[in-house]
Structure formats: structure tokens, C-alpha cells
């Protein structure tokens, strides 16, 4: 398993090789949201982010590897594990909860002690429906704490989503890439917005994944970024959709081969403008 500690160790290793490692903010349970940066802060910037859904923790390793292999001219900001509390819960179960009352609450939400399919954060909010983009109107939204799909009490109610949104506004990336792990497809656009469609199509073609609209999606990070900035936001869903989440880690070489040009392609486009 690629744990939170593995991600932190990778971040330290990359920092020793010249990357900038920093703390974006803190999770609900006080874990560092680790950020990485390489390149120049002058000119276009890109932001890649992973593991917002707990059970998709393998995408944190993919983010680190995409960051490591990137050699584009645009500055690259990376938040490999946007939901460390949820990822720890999916990997290590209830022992990862910081207090007994957290543990009892999470067990009651989950209805058992198998957290391997948990998507939410440390208090049953699904971070990828917690952003202010037609918040609470998504087709799968639920309105009480749960292992997945709960929108939260209000938009950006959670430390991790709030931190990521504020950080994104500070960085002002030309484009964002969110790595998820369900289905071998890329989602772009939101509502009436469809910025940089040709570029999105080129990226999708290079990956061999179809570019689709996520019908019924609302409150996602990508949704929010597109609606707020009218810039390109992509959700890259890696894997074939059938692979159990822990086994996804064994497919990372293949997935990396498919996706390693996403960030360089975006960089080349924005640097040439």
C-alpha cells in the first residue's frame, strides 16, 4: 500500500533532489497536506492533485510519479494526497482514527469495520462534492454523513477542500488535473463552460481515454475550478473501472505510460501562448 508516510517520504526524497516541498494546510485530523513544486513561478502554472477520494489512494503515488517525470516549462504544483485522513482510513481502518469518539462515530457511519471502499474524509464528507459549484444539486448527492456522496454542511465546510480551494486561487493555475481512479475516462467542462475543448481532446487522445461530460456532477473540485476561472479543469479517471482499488497500485506502470504526457502537453500549450 502507498501510505501517507510513503507519500511524505517521497516528498522528502524529491525535495532532496531540488523540488520545493511545503505544507499547503492541515486535514481535519491534523495531518499535513503536503505540496510539491518544481519549475518557475513566472509564466504559466499547472496544478495536479490526487487521492481526494479515500479508496483511490493509489492515485497519490501516480501524482508523485507524474510530478517526478515532468519536465515541462510551466511551473508544476502537486498535492498528491488531498484527503490523507480518508486514505489512512481506507488503508488501515479504524485504528487510524485519532480518538475513541472519532472511531465510534466512523464505525457507526460505515456500519462495520471494513473501510476499504470508504470515499469520504474523517467525518463522512465526500470532499469532491463539497466545492461551491451548484453545490448540493448533484445526481448522487446525499445530505447526511456517509462513506460517500455527502456534500457537507455547506460548501468548503472541510479543512481539506477549503485549503485546496484557497491554495488554487493563490497559485492561479492555467489548468488543473485531478486524478481519480474509476473507469479510464477524462471528464472536462462544467455547466455551460467548456474551456479549451480542443486541448482537452488532445490530452484525452494521448491517454487513450474518452473525453466526456460528467452528467449530474456538481460540487467537484474540477467543477468549481472551471466555473470559477473559466479555465481548463480535467478529472482523469485512471484504471479500467473493474480493478479493485488496492490492485490498482500494481497497474501504475501502465497507467503512468498512458498519462505521463498530460502535464507536458498542457505545459507546452500554455507556454506557447
Query: Is residue 222 involved in binding Zn ion (CB under 5 A)?
Result: no
Q: How far is the CB of 175 from Zn ion (least distance, A)?
A: 19
| The three three-digit cell numbers of residue 113, written as one number | 469495520
Query: Which one, 54 or 97, has the nearer CB to Zn ion?
Result: 54
Q: How far is the CB of 53 from Zn ion (least distance, A)?
A: 3
| Torsion on CA atoms 174, 131, 99, 115, rounded to nearest 10 | -90
The stretch among 22-30, 67-75, 107-115, 172-180 that binds Zn ion (CB under 5 A) is 172-180
Cα separation, 32 vs 85, whole angstroms? 10
Cα separation, 238 vs 92, whole angstroms? 23
| The three three-digit cell numbers of residue 94, written as one number | 479504524
Query: Which one, 56 or 102, has the nearer CB to Zn ion?
Result: 56
Q: How far is the CB of 195 from Zn ion (least distance, A)?
A: 22
Q: How far is the CB of 228 from Zn ion (least distance, A)?
A: 20
Residues in 47-76 at the binding interface with Zn ion, rule: CB under 5 A: 53, 56
Query: Which one, 30 or 244, has the nearer CB to Zn ion?
Result: 244
Query: Which one, 21 or 180, has the nearer CB to Zn ion?
Result: 180
Q: How many CA atoms lie within 13 A of 97 on its CB side?
A: 17
| Per-residue buried b or exposed e for 43-80, using 16+ beta carbons within 10 Å of the residue's own CB | ebbbbbbbbbbbbbbbbbbbbbbbbbebebebbbbbbb
The stretch among 9-17, 135-143, 173-181, 212-220 that binds Zn ion (CB under 5 A) is 173-181
Cα separation, 39 vs 180, whole angstroms? 24
Q: How far is the CB of 180 from Zn ion (least distance, A)?
A: 3
Query: Is residue 21 involved in binding Zn ion (CB under 5 A)?
Result: no
Query: Is residue 180 involved in binding Zn ion (CB under 5 A)?
Result: yes
Q: How many CA atoms lie within 13 A of 57 on its CB side?
A: 27
Strands 175-180 and 232-237: parallel
Helix (H) or strand (E) holding 48: strand 45-50
Query: Which one, 36 or 58, has the nearer CB to Zn ion?
Result: 58
The stretch among 26-34, 151-159, 177-185, 225-233 that binds Zn ion (CB under 5 A) is 177-185
Q: How far is the CB of 27 from Zn ion (least distance, A)?
A: 17
Q: How far is the CB of 73 from Zn ion (least distance, A)?
A: 30
Task: Determine phi and psi for 201, rounding to 5 degrees.
Answer: -65, -40
Strands 32-38 and 75-79: antiparallel
Q: How many residues bind Zn ion (CB under 5 A)?
A: 3
Q: How far is the CB of 1 from Zn ion (least distance, A)?
A: 17
Residues in 101-140 at the binding interface with Zn ion, rule: CB under 5 A: none
Query: Which one, 180 or 269, has the nearer CB to Zn ion?
Result: 180
Query: Which one, 76 or 120, has the nearer CB to Zn ion?
Result: 120
> % helix / strand / coil in the chain, to the nearest 5?
40, 15, 40
* Binding residues for Zn ion (CB under 5 A): 53, 56, 180
Amino acid at each position: 500500500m502507498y501510505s501517507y508516510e510513503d507519500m511524505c517520504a517521497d516528498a522528502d526524497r524529491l525535495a532532496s533532489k531540488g523540488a520545493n516541498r511545503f505544507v499547503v494546510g492541515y486535514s481535519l485530523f491534523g495531518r499535513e497536506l503536503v505540496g510539491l513544486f518544481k519549475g518557475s513561478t513566472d509564466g504559466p502554472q499547472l496544478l495536479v492533485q490526487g487521492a481526494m477520494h479515500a479508496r483511490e489512494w493509489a492515485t497519490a503515488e501516480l501524482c508523485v510519479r507524474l510530478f517526478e517525470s515532468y519536465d515541462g516549462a510551466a511551473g508544476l504544483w502537486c498535492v498528491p494526497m488531498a484527503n490523507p485522513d480518508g486514505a489512512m482510513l481506507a488503508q488501515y481502518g479504524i485504528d487510524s482514527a485519532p480518538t475513541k469518539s472519532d472511531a465510534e462515530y466512523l464505525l457507526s457511519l460505515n456500519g462495520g469495520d471494513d473501510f476499504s471502499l470508504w470515499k469520504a474524509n474523517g467525518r463522512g464528507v465526500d470532499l469532491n462534492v463539497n466545492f461551491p459549484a451548484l453545490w448540493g444539486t448533484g445526481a448522487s448527492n446525499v445530505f447526511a454523513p456517509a462513506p460517500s456522496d455527502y456534500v457537507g454542511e455547506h460548501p468548503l465546510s472541510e479543512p481539506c477542500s477549503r485549503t485546496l480551494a484557497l491554495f488554487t486561487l493563490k497559485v492561479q493555475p492555467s489548468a488543473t488535473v485531478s486524478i481519480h481512479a474509476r473507469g479510464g475516462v477524462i471528464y472536462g467542462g462544467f455547466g455551460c463552460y467548456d474551456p479549451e475543448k480542443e486541448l482537452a481532446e488532445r490530452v484525452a487522445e494521448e491517454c487513450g481515454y474518452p473525453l466526456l461530460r460528467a452528467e449530474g456532477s456538481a460540487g467537484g473540485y474540477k467543477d468549481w475550478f472551471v466555473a470559477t476561472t473559466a479555465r481548463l479543469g480535467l478529472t482523469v479517471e485512471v484504471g479500467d473501472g473493474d480493478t479493485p482499488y488496492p490492485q490498482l497500485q500494481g497497474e501504475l506502470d501502465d497507467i503512468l505510460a498512458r498519462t505521463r504526457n498530460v502535464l507536458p502537453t498542457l505545459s507546452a500549450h500554455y507556454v506557447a501562448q
